[in-house]
Structure 1
């Protein structure tokens, strides 16, 4: 974990590069729950 940029990037990239949870959270927080 401390020295493995591959595992750190792979663990921090999936949740941030997810078009399902990221776009849903962004749309729901942008004007989904407010509308």
Structure 2
């Protein structure tokens, strides 16, 4: 499982702004893949 906090931290690192929900989903998928390794 990936926490919402982890996703938001990665969004901040990538300097995302509102309206970029597709990138948030991509980040969540990447974090989940990293956690599965």
TM-score tier after normalising by the smaller chain length: 0.3 to 0.5
Q: TM-score, normalised by structure 2?
A: 0.35
Higher helix share: 2
The higher radius of gyration belongs to: 1
Q: Which has the higher contact order (CA 8 A, sep 6+)?
A: 2
Q: TM-score, normalised by structure 1?
A: 0.35
